[in-house]
Structure 1
Amino acid sequence: MTSSSGSPERLVVIGGDAAGMSAASQARRRRPVGDLRIVAFEKGRHVSYSACGIPYLVAGDVSSPDDLVARTPEQFRELDIDLRLASEVTAISLDSRSVTVASQGSSYTEPFDQLVIATGGTPARPDVPGADAAGIHGVQTLEDGIRLLSYLDRHNPRRAVVVGAGYIGLEMAEAMISRGLEVALIDAADQPMRTLDPDMASLVSDALRGLGVDLRLSTPFTGFASSGGRVTGVHVPDGTLPADIVILGLGTRPNSALAADAGITVGATGGIVVDRRLRTSAEGVWAAGDCVEVFHRVSQRPAAIALGTHANKQGRAAGINIGGGYATFPGVVGTAVSKICSHEVARTGLTTAEALSAGFATFSTVTESTTRAGYYPGALPITTKIIAERTTGRLLGAQIVGQEGAAKRIDALAVALWHGMTVEEMTGLDLSYAPPFAPVWDPVLIAARRAAEQLATLRP
């Protein structure tokens, strides 16, 4: 396909990480440069890297930032993708079919026939006194991780305060522990990991305190103390927590402002509205990654869930469609895993509160088991919670807290959830067994059986 002028069609991609470069790569595989010219803009200096690996780079588990890079700029250019770094798209004009780009102190416009918006997420940044002090770090981009590593090496801090007890907060607390720092973790909520039910989150609290973390819940912060321009503490209601370094893990929201300013529809979640093929409300404009809202297959509602797995799948689907093929992104069930040192956390589907909000009548069960046969060396505890629909027994969500070998069991529950299985059906799942890997009754089967037994008592 070529443009109306007979020249190659022009595809512009905004954003050079998972979604954007997946879209560009898939489109190029299907359409040669004589048919499709691809220009990709990235406001940073790194593309196609694993942001999820940044905490492990900081901890020292990953030896170099280069290890997190899936494909270099040179490799994309070899594919005839015109990749422009340190180039920020500041506006989209649907009328002129062009984008405005700021780069090296100047501005220019770039025309497009088709456009992919892959602007990712915007991290929450506190608007409080002292927030501009040196030593306060976010960890969204690879450049953030490199700056944080440099600060740690130059200043050799002893005390870290991590603000926010979600996934990033837990992983960065682990990174600081691994580096030998004293760690305080604060959150305004009354539990860590708000994506868990309170009873399961309490197990995470116990694990954190068992690791020596000074966990402060229901603790908002009001500002930062500093000396000589460097952070020295975090102000909380009962005083100031000393800090030589502060890590922010306050979450992200979809970075959809560019799309909204152009008149492209943005949903109630703050994400760009797309159809199953990743098309936006504007003709020839696609969107993928953390900037879009997704369809939650359990709640049947739009959601904003920032995960690299979704971004890669969405970018791939958009690129296939631009390339003339057919692909869809069928939605999510909200599966995620994390860990802090030896403790693993996993969840899929809806929490109890989310299920009730979606209109379900629910019941839940919590079971204790071990990750291996009890007599086999290294058997460790695992707690599994199942949330199901009271009338039908259909699985609505599941959560796991345990140690080595615990978290990835959530995948079996995610597959069951994806296919709408009931807890009774799940009791017959043919899961693997050998003493080094599981008890004869896997924890997933134990949880399903317990839920099925409880369901039987609820039926008339």
Structure 2
Amino acid sequence: MRILIIGGEAAGMSAAAKARRLAIDADIVVYEASEVISFGACGLPYFVGDEFQEPGYMAEFTPEQFAAKGIEVKIGHRVLSVDATAQTLVVEHNGDTFTDRYDRLMIATGAREVMPPIPGLQQQGVFGLRRMADGLALKAAVQDKNNRRAVVIGSGFIGLEVVEALVHQGKEVRLIELADRVIPDAFDGEITQHIETELREQGVSLHLGERVEALLGDGRVTGVRTSQGEYEADIVVVCTGVKPNTDFLANTGIERLGNGAIKVDRQGRSSLANVWSAGDCASVWHSVKQQQVYVPLATIANKLGRMVGENLAGAEQEFPGTLGSAALKVLGLEAGRTGLSEQEAKAMGIDYRTVVIKEKCHTNYCPGQSDIHVKLVYEAGSKRLLGGQILGRKGAVHRIDALAVAITMGVTTEQLGMLDFAYAPPFSRTWDALNVAGNVAK
């Protein structure tokens, strides 16, 4: 059996490693367009912010290490097309093309940045942050003392992490967001208002409800023009979302979501025979929504990649589903979310209720006591938990994991109110913030 995998990052390499352990006689080849494999892009903002200095930490393994395990990894090889009938690929390397055939194929091509349709993006001093090369280039620019003024466009997870990195590097930071609040797709307003306050208190110039119209300059960026004014800039970082890397599949007939993500079932199978997919290029089953969604997270890519590896080797494993659980650190704050936000529940037409509480993270006689904010979304009749969001200072975000377990197990707010959470004065109060939220829910 010949297994080909397109894409050598989280999902692809997880699948290759698992398939190798189970299908010991199979030929396994991974085609990766870049020069780096097993790359964790999540570390890029922290590399830029000098949390660590060695970029190699973000690439966990090398092609040579996989070769020693019997997995052939071909870097610098871009797959141009797939013929699902003949079960072949056309691959480009150094200007030459060749054809390879497969018995089973996995597509794990990830996602690319979505750039806004504005002039000036090709100038020096304008950066994205998706690849290793992006991180190296941005870090070099940040270390230049002449680059004092930075503008970040977009306030999603990466945008906010980049803002934190630039603040840590002593830059004058301006954040521009088209929506009327930060990170609007992941968190509700009761949580984002505290993030916005933290940004302003840390000296970030926050521009909400403002559209970027052009990047100014003559070969090198000097500023940004928006719907409300012009601002000087030495560095501009564009963080306006991602799009699945699936354009090369346009002629295959493979089923895709509206944004181009490959539609897969709970086994990771696509609509094409003998073709699986996982990671940021594919859909994933949402266990609360009970439908396929697009949630490009590293945790999902690794889990689904591993499962697809089993299925490439002949198993029929099914993914139980995602909750879209995610966490964020913004300067002194931590925030986590899982399950449905209120805006998602409303869009689905669910009869839901919410509760928002402010509690303390631990007892008052231990140093460092601070506020912790909890929002629960739950079904009106049954009181079954549908989603939750948490914000606070150090250590607050880990409580989101307890909520993820509770949602997965169908816990109600009443049950949450009496769950037996660990207690010690430095860590919590006798009634944890999650207990309090569950008991306040009506």
TM-score with structure 1 length normalisation?
A: 0.93
Stretch deviating more after TM superposition (170-179 or 141-150): 141-150
| 1:291-310 mapped onto 2 (5 Å cutoff) | 291-310=281-300
2:408 equivalent to 1:414: no
* Whole-angstrom CA distance in 2 between matches of 1:264 and 1:411: 35
For 1:270 and 1:440, the matched residues in 2 are separated by 48
The equivalent of 2:80 in structure 1 is 90
1:55-454 to 2 correspondences below 5 Å: 55-154=45-144, 156-194=146-184, 195-227=186-218, 229-268=219-258, 270-451=260-441
Deviations 1:428-454 (A, max 9, x none): 211111011111111111111111xxx
Structure 1 residue 73, shift from structure 2 partner: 1.7
Query: Aligned equivalents of 1:388 and 1:44: distance in 2?
Result: 44
Q: Work out the CA distance in 2 between the residues paired with 1:68 and 1:91.
A: 29
Deviations 1:192-236 (A, max 9, x none): 011111222111111111111101000110010113x11111111
SS of the equivalent of 1:427 reads helix
Amino acid in the other structure paired with 2:119: P
CA contact (8 A) 2:285 2:319 kept: no
Counterpart AA for 1:105: G
Q: Normalization by structure 2: what TM-score?
A: 0.97
Q: What SS does the corresponding residue of 2:279 show, helix, strand or coil?
A: coil
| CA apart distance, 1:156 | 4.4
Name the amino acid aligned to 1:372.
H
Match of 1:5 in 2: none
1:261 is paired with a residue whose SS is coil
Are 2:152 and 2:237, in contact at CA under 8 Å, matched by a contact in 1?
Answer: yes
CA distance in 2, matches of 1:148, 1:154: 10
Q: Answer yes or no: is the 8 Å Cα contact 2:11–2:301 preserved in 1.
A: yes
**Contact 1:270/1:293, CA 8 A, preserved across alignment:** no
What is residue 22 of structure 2 aligned with on the other side?
A: 30
TM-superposed deviation, 1:37: 1.0
Tell me, in whole angstroms, the C-alpha distance in 2 between the residues paired with 1:242 and 1:264: 45
Task: Tell me if the contact between 1:380 and 1:402 (Cα under 8 Å) persists in the aligned partners.
Answer: yes
Q: Which amino acid in structure 2 is aligned with residue 357 of structure 1?
A: A
Deviation of 1:151 (Å): 2.7
Partners of 2:315 and 2:295 lie apart in 1 by 26
Contact 1:49 1:68 in 2 (8 A): yes
Matched residue, 1:458: none
- What residue ranges of structure 2 are gaps of 5+ in the alignment? none
Report how many residues are paired.
441
The structural deviation recorded for 1:287 is: 0.3
Distance 2:15 2:43 in 1: 22
State the distance in 1 between where 2:265 and 2:289 align: 17
**CA–CA distance in 1 between the matches of 2:347 and 2:259?**
15
In structure 2, relative to structure 1, the CA distance for the partners of 1:27 and 1:148 (3 Å cut) is same
Deviation of the 1:154 alpha carbon: 4.8
Paired amino acid for 2:331: C
Counterpart of 2:5 in structure 1 is 13
Judge conservation of contact 2:195–2:330 (CA < 8 Å) in 1.
Answer: no
Q: Deviations over 1:107-144 (max 9, x none)?
A: 22111111100011121112211111111111112222
Contact 2:198 2:331 in 1 (8 A): no
Letter matched to residue 125 of structure 1: M
The runs of at least 4 aligned residues of structure 1 exceeding 4 Å deviation read: none
Is the 1:373–1:438 contact (alpha carbons within 8 Å) kept by the matching residues of 2?
yes
Identity of aligned residues (%): 39
CA distance in 2, matches of 1:280, 1:163: 34
Answer whether contact 1:289 1:315 (CA < 8 A) is retained.
Answer: yes
Matched to 1:247, the amino acid is: V
Q: Is the 8 A contact 2:6 2:12 kept in 1?
A: yes
